[in-house]
Chains A and B, each alone.
Chain A
Amino acid sequence: MALFPGSVAFDEYGRPFIILRDQDRQKRLTGTDAIKSHIQAARQIASTLRTSLGPRGLDKLMVSSDGDVTVTNDGATILKMMDVEHQIGKLLVQLAQSQDDEIGDGTTGVVVLAGALLEQASNLLDKGIHPIRIADGYEMAAALALTHLDSVSEAFPVNKNTRENLIKVAMTTLGSKVVVKCHRLMAEIAVDAVLAVADLETRDVNFELIKVEGKVGGRMEDSVLVRGVVVDKTMSHPQMPKVLRNVKLAILTCPFEPPKPKTKHKLQVGSADEYRELRQYEHDKFIEMVRKVKDAGATLAICQWGFDDEANHLLLAEGLPAVRWVGGPEMELIAIATGGRIVPRFEELTPEKLGSCGLVRELTFGTSKEEMLVIEECSNSRAVTVLVRGGNRMIVEEAKRSVHDALCIVRSLVQDSRVVYGGGAAEASCSLAVSAAAEKLSSLDQYAFRAFGDALEAIPLALAENSGLSPIDALSEVKARQVAENNPYLGIDCMSKGSNDMKAMNVIESLHSKKQQIALATQLVKMILKIDDVRSPADSIE
């Protein structure tokens, strides 16, 4: 048995040198073993996700440690909820997470690609190529693939007139999700939401302005885009009006409660007179608070804190509807939407600081009388809320995630309007370009190039497999046609529509997302290939 560097060494009497503390109780993997074990782990995770890829991919059912059930198709969510222990697994979880944070879509793809790259690396390792050489080769191949993607990308104008095209893009993203039942509706909601908040001049979309709310019950078809803010609260007093028009909102972060100084203090009541005085003071304070709000011209008070019973009734008596216990983020959204200022003290309330909106109404759901408050026709109509409905909790949660993905993809188009074509077309085209470049290289790198090209095929292969096609047949046909017709828009015909032309079928993905996928996956693979020694404490059970 070969002696690994740093493992047990013996002196001339056969006694071991102890170099590391507790080394006999630690698990250790070195050299090719380590890499091989990592590759295998990554492949296992990738194979779990592989079946979720594409419009005919299937979902995963996750049971959390508390027994809660989640059904999802979103790579990042699956990995997040998977109880991963393996160190490489954790890296992959982070990879999907960073794709999710950066782009929001394509999280499954990036993991599948990383898995495929590692699988190919394993073959090269068997040939005796040094992992660093593989890593460097991958790096160069990735750079080539990225420039190739640039060359096959097309400009995709985004403005108010291209709503239709954007909807088609959103539909591609949603194609793999459970919401395909009302495909078009969801895509429209996502596009309209992004267009409502997008700043087309600076190519910026502020996601803070889009809130995705879910409410169990009803049908998925009932999902709507509310041009305003939805707050899961009701009027503080049951007899306040349920519908308000031309509202002036006072947005308060001070409670309608007796004043409570922040410094520590002691108020002592020494005599009956003082007691009466205090009582009067308290009484006047409430009247004063309500008066201040009323005087500023507000017709609706939105408050972050609670109300005292007395204050509540005074508000009703003064005909001033109010909402209490509104959360911080909602307060901000309301402030943005209505153009009001958040006021921390009653004294600072002035008419200019009030927000305004056209309509405030209460929505009622179902038999159990759940209510939500909708603030619409705001002066600044940029804040929007997507209200998702569905038959059960899991479906609403999944629909929310899907809408989020669609929002992300539309946003990335607003930010960088170049697109590539989906259905594996871009990957197949890159694969061809990388393989062609491999022949021209004189160094060892050509093996890594070829491997990279093969790995890129993993995505169209998985797509074809999930769609029930014969993967190799479908892919080789696409590749052959891409070369013969010099048309990089040919991909896998997942939905059996009879055409491979992804451009004609409007299967579009953003260039940014695709580039990010390749870059992130390559980066991670490089990192994994460079690890040659793992130490971990032995299992606690052993």
Chain B
Amino acid sequence: MVSLNPIRILKNEAEEEKAEVARMSSFIGAIAIGDLVKSTLGPKGMDKILVSCGRNSGQVEVTNDGATILKSIGVDNPAAKILVDMSKVQDEEVGDGTTSVTVLAAELLREAEKLIEQKLHPQTIIAGWRIASDAAKQALAEASFDHQKNLNEASLRVDLENIARTTLSSKILSNHKEHFTKLAVDAVLRLKGSGNLKAIQIIKISGGLLEESFLDEGFLLNKKVGVHQPKKVENANILIANTPMDTDKIKVFGSTIKVDSMAKIAELEVAEKEKMKDKVNKILAHKCNVFINRQLIYNYPEQLFADAGVMAIEHADFEGIERLGLVTGGEIVSTFDSPDKVKLGHCKLIEEVLIGDESLIRFSGVALGSACTIVIRGATQQVIDEAERSLHDALCVLAATVKEPKVICGGGAGEMLMAEAASRAGARTAGKEAAAAEAFAVALRRLPSAVADNAGYDSADLIARLRAHHSRGENTMGLDMQNGTVGDMKKLGVTESYVVKRQVLLSAAEAAEMILRVDNILKAAPRRRGPDRRPC
């Protein structure tokens, strides 16, 4: 008796997709993700509205940033998940190019799908891609240029401004790009090459116009001064602390207080108060006139500080404290026994300022001028949030460029250049890999083509003209999206960071390769849980 029942190997709800089905499912997933963000690409790209559901349901977010969009849509397709993860990493690593990397990976897979239909082995396609991506990488490196040789402030500034303008032109800030370009470049130049973005603080205050956003030379802290304390201090000596100023508990484990009369409680209370007073006195012994604490300051010590005429600011967040330490050159202090050893922070003037209807504390004339604050104003919360994201992208790119001052031409010139190199490498290759290398070039050309499409121009015509220019070796030619023609990007000053472009190329190739290598998808039975309410 041979049983005809199928033998089930996997658990009840587990699934297995094999060969062509598996490949199709990953291609469809990846291409869908690519198409989703494709329309945000380029200076005339459109934004997306993300409506959240669940806990903060109904909240609206308007964005153009690929990583933000992909982060917020809950994808289920495993291949799509790989792309989302890749774009997240791109965001963390270089900050910009999150849309480009996703679109490029998706386009690569779209081309791969055609090749698979022609019965090309995935490994052969991968081999071809490797040839193409190596060639593209090299071409990109050769075409990059920098001003290292005659590095002076002015030329570096011009470079950075160009890059910032290019990055910002695809964002909501594009109408105010001159203004924000200046903001971003000023902020990054203040870092003096350290590239430490932590030192740049972004404060968002709604109300006002985007143009009213400004860069503050000093440092703004979104906190209030304690009552009855001076609101304005000149030549401030700042003590930055991280210490409990509520009730300074005894930390020895398991100590309890047991007394037998009310009088003793009163005594203890006095002792506690005394302890706090001692602490305040010790702090005052540092001869500071401003005291900033990360933790709460209770009324009693606050009053003591007020009596001593010291400005005390409580509950600054941890990053704020670190930044303050950085800006004023002070040390973050937790014990107060040796006043002579502690380095105090200094600044010329501390005052309360009113921006919109929020009062902030401004530290100006700081000793180490490396930090600064950018205040973003805007009509609605969404606009401000998006402006912050755009500015963040621009700052990331600028910081990366300061570290590695290589730039390449933007406006699709980089992609066309790489495509040209890839297709030349393909032509030199004998064997089936050549087709894959050519496909790589086609995928690269899709990026500028998407940019032109989004702007409503005839992409086929523009790309063909661009290609002709590039094959003649004029590798600075790119798309001029203002006039809808091709133009010399170097003259137009449209430049992009080399580091970002390289990362886009490599990440996209890596992820696409990974997805293409898959020939079998095994899904475990989903864990039982309540209904999924995440956005989808």
Q: How far is the CA of A442 from the CA of B19 in the complex (A)?
A: 45
* Nearest opposing residue in chain A for B529, CB measure: A66
Question: Are the C-beta atoms of A271 and B242 separated by less than 8 Å?
Answer: no
- Contact call B7/A391, Cβ cutoff below 8 A: no
Whether A239 pairs with B325 at a CB distance below 8 angstroms is yes
| Contact across chains for B198 and A276 when beta carbons are under 8 A apart | no
Quick check: A269 and B268 within 8 Å, CB to CB? yes
**Residue B222 CB within 8 A of the other chain:** no
Which residues of A, 462-499, contact B by the 8 Å Cβ criterion? Answer: 467-468
Chain A residues whose C-beta falls within 8 Å of the C-beta of B251 in the assembled complex: 257-258, 282, 308
Interface pair A2/B93, CB less than 8 Å apart: no
Which one of B162-170, B298-306, B330-338, B472-480 is at the interface? B330-338
A268 to B259, CA, bound (A): 9
State the CA gap A185–B259 with chains docked (Å): 71
* Of B9, B94, B198, B514, the contact of A84 (CB 8 Å cutoff): B9
A26 within 8 A of B: no
Is A37 touching B256 in the complex (CB atoms < 8 A)?
Answer: no
Can you name the residue of chain A whose Cβ is closest to the Cβ of B122? A58
Contact indicator A268/B1 (Cβ below 8 Å):
no
Chain A residue contacts of B521, Cβ below 8 A: 60-63
B272 and A61 contact, CB distance less than 8 A: no
Q: Cα distance A40–B9 when bound, in Å?
A: 10
A20 interface residue (CB < 8 Å to B): no
Q: How far is the CA of A41 from the CA of B10 in the complex (A)?
A: 10
A520 to B520, CA, bound (A): 26
Instruction: Assess the A36–B2 pair: CB atoms within 8 A.
Output: yes
Closest to B506 in A: A219
B86-104 residues with Cβ-Cβ distance < 8 A to A are 86, 89, 91-95
Q: Which residue of chain B has the shortest Cβ distance to A268 in the bound complex?
A: B258
**A61 x B79 contact (CB < 8 A):** yes
- Cα of A365 to Cα of B89 in the assembled complex, Å: 11
Produce 1/0 per residue, B105-126, CB < 8 A to A.
0000000000000000111100
Interface bits B313-354 vs A (CB < 8 Å: 1, else 0): 000000000100100000111110010011000000000000
Q: Which residues A364-420 have CB closer than 8 A to chain B?
A: 365-370, 390-395, 398
Instruction: Determine the chain A residues whose CB is within 8 A of the CB of B259 once the complex forms.
Output: 270-271
A58 in contact with B520 given A391-B511, A541-B12 (CB within 8 Å): yes
**Bound Cα distance A238, B244 (Å):** 19
**How far apart sit A41 and B253, CA to CA, in the bound complex (Å)?**
60
Asked if B285 lies at the interface with its beta carbon under 8 angstroms from chain A, I say no
Asked whether B256 lies within 8 Å of A367 as measured between CB atoms, the reply is no
Q: How far is the CB of B424 from chain A (nearest CB, A)?
A: 21
B242 touches A313 (CB 8 A): yes
- Bound: A64/B522 CA distance, A: 9
Q: Which residues of A contact B158 (CB under 8 A)?
A: none
What are the interface flags for A78-99 relative to B under an 8 Å C-beta threshold, 1 for contact and 0 otherwise? Answer: 1001111110010000000000
For chain B, the count of residues having a C-beta within 8 Å of the partner chain is 87
CB pair B8–A86 under 8 Å, yes or no, is yes
Contact string, B246-271, partner A, CB cutoff 8 A, digits 1/0? 00001111111111000010011011
Min distance, Cβ B440 to any Cβ of chain A, angstroms: 14
Find out whether the CB atom of A85 lies under 8 angstroms from the CB atom of B10: yes
Cβ of A19 under 8 Å from chain B: no
Expressed in whole angstroms, the Cα–Cα distance for A71 and B76 within the complex equals: 15
CB–CB A392/B85 < 8 A = yes
Is residue A144 within 8 Å, beta carbon to beta carbon, of the partner chain? no
Within 8 Å by CB of A279, from B275, B335, B518, lies: B275
Neighbour of A85 across the interface among B8, B22, B331, B334, CB < 8 A: B8
Q: Is residue A538 within 8 Å, beta carbon to beta carbon, of the partner chain?
A: no
Given A61-B518, A310-B243, A81-B1 contact (CB < 8 Å):
no
Q: Determine whether the beta carbon of A82 is less than 8 Å from that of B510.
A: no
User: Would you call B254 and A265 a contact (CB within 8 A)?
Assistant: yes
Q: Are A317 and B342 in contact (CB under 8 A)?
A: yes
Query: Given the complex, which residues of A lie within 8 Å of B396, measured CB to CB?
Result: 367
Complex CA gap A67/B82 in Å reads 12
Q: Which residues of B contact A37 (CB under 8 A)?
A: 3, 7
A81→B522 contact, CB < 8 A: yes
A73 to B519, CA, bound (A): 11
B369 located at the interface, meaning its Cβ lies under 8 Å from any Cβ of chain A in the complex: no
Nearest chain B CB to A77 CB, angstrom units: 11
Q: Which of A61, A78, A269, A391 contacts B86 (CB 8 A)?
A: A391
A261-286 interface with B by 8 A CB criterion: 261, 265-272, 275-276, 278-279, 281-282, 286
B395 to chain A, nearest CB (A): 9
Residues in B whose Cβ lies below 8 Å from that of A269: 250, 255-258, 268
The answer for the CA separation of A398 and B519 in the assembled complex, in Å, is 16
Q: Does B207 contact A (CB under 8 A)?
A: no
Bound complex: CA A129 to CA B256 (Å): 82
Question: With A65-B526, A267-B255 as given contacts, are A58 and B332 in contact (CB-CB < 8 Å)?
Answer: no
Q: How far is the CA of A156 from the CA of B103 in the complex (A)?
A: 48
Q: Which residue of B lies closest to A36 (CB)?
A: B2
* Interface stretch of the complex, out of A44-52, A451-459, A509-517: A44-52
Interface pair A367/B272, CB less than 8 Å apart:
no
Interface residues of B in 1-51 (CB under 8 A from A): 1-3, 7-12, 14, 16, 18-19, 22, 26
Task: Give the CA-CA distance A66 to B529 in the complex, in Å.
Answer: 10
Residue B182 at the chain A interface, CB threshold 8 Å: no
A222 to chain B, nearest CB (A): 10
List residues of A (510-542) whose CB comes within 8 Å of B's CBs.
539, 541
A312: chain B residues at CB < 8 Å are 334
Contact of A33 among B3, B10, B85, B124 (CB under 8 A): B3
Q: A51-B519, A58-B123, A392-B86 are in contact. Are A259 and B8 (CB under 8 A)?
A: no
Asked if B388 is at the interface of the complex by the 8 Å CB criterion, the answer is: no
Task: Assess whether A440 is interfacial by the CB under 8 Å rule.
Answer: no
Quick one: given A37-B7, A86-B8, are A217 and B89 in contact (CB under 8 Å)? Answer: yes
Q: Which residues of A contact B85 (CB under 8 A)?
A: 69, 392-394
Does A29 touch B at the CB level, under 8 Å?
yes
Set of chain A residues within 8 Å of B242, measured between Cβ atoms: 309, 313
Give bound CA distance, A266 to B258, whole Å. 11
Q: Would you call A468 and B121 a contact (CB within 8 A)?
A: yes
Q: Give the residue among A84, A89, A272, A393 with the most B Cβ atoms within 10 A.
A: A272
A310 CA / B335 CA spacing, docked (Å): 6
Contact B332 A83 (CB under 8 A): no
Contact call A63/B267, Cβ cutoff below 8 A: no
Report the separation of the CA atoms of residues A498 and B342 in the bound assembly, to the nearest whole angstrom.
73
**Is A178 among interface residues, defined by CB-CB distance under 8 A?**
yes
Q: Please name all residues of chain A whose beta carbon is closer than 8 Å to the beta carbon of B511 when the two chains form the complex.
A: 391-392, 395
Known A41-B7, A51-B519, A257-B251; judge A181-B81 contact (CB<8 A). Answer: no
Is B445 among interface residues, defined by CB-CB distance under 8 A?
Answer: no
On chain B, the residues within 8 Å of A368 by CB distance are: 92
- Quick one: given A41-B7, A272-B264, are A392 and B250 in contact (CB under 8 Å)? no
- Given the known interface contacts A178-B517, A392-B82, the answer about A67 and B526 at a Cβ–Cβ threshold of 8 Å is yes
Q: Given A69-B82, A181-B130, A269-B268, do A83 and B333 touch, yes or no (CB 8 Å)?
A: no
**Inter-chain contact B524/A394, CB cutoff 8 Å:** no
* B78 CB-CB contact with A under 8 Å: yes
- CB nearest neighbor in B for A79: B522
Q: Is there a chain A Cβ closer than 8 Å to B428's Cβ?
A: no
Q: Is the CB of B252 within 8 A of A393?
A: no
Chain B residues, Cβ within 8 Å of A40: 7
Chain B's closest residue to A494 (CB) is B123
Complex CA–CA separation, A395 to B271 (angstroms)? 60
Output the nearest chain A residue to B76 by Cβ-Cβ distance: A67
Q: Is A218 an interface residue (CB 8 A)?
A: yes
Chain A residues near B325 (CB-CB < 8 A): 238-239
| Residue interface mask B496-525, A partner, CB < 8 A = 1 | 000000010011001101110111111111
Residue B527 CB within 8 A of the other chain: yes
Counting chain B CB atoms within 10 Å of each CB, which of A29, A365, A367 scores highest?
A367
A237 CB contacts on chain B under 8 angstroms: 332
Contact with B along A330-363 (1 / 0, CB 8 A): 0000000000000000000000000000000000
Show 6 A/B contacts (Cβ-Cβ < 8 Å), sorted by A: A51-B520, A58-B123, A86-B10, A366-B94, A367-B400, A392-B510
The 8 A-B pairs at the shortest CB distance, nearest first, are namely A313-B334, A83-B14, A58-B519, A391-B507, A272-B267, A272-B271, A83-B524, A391-B510
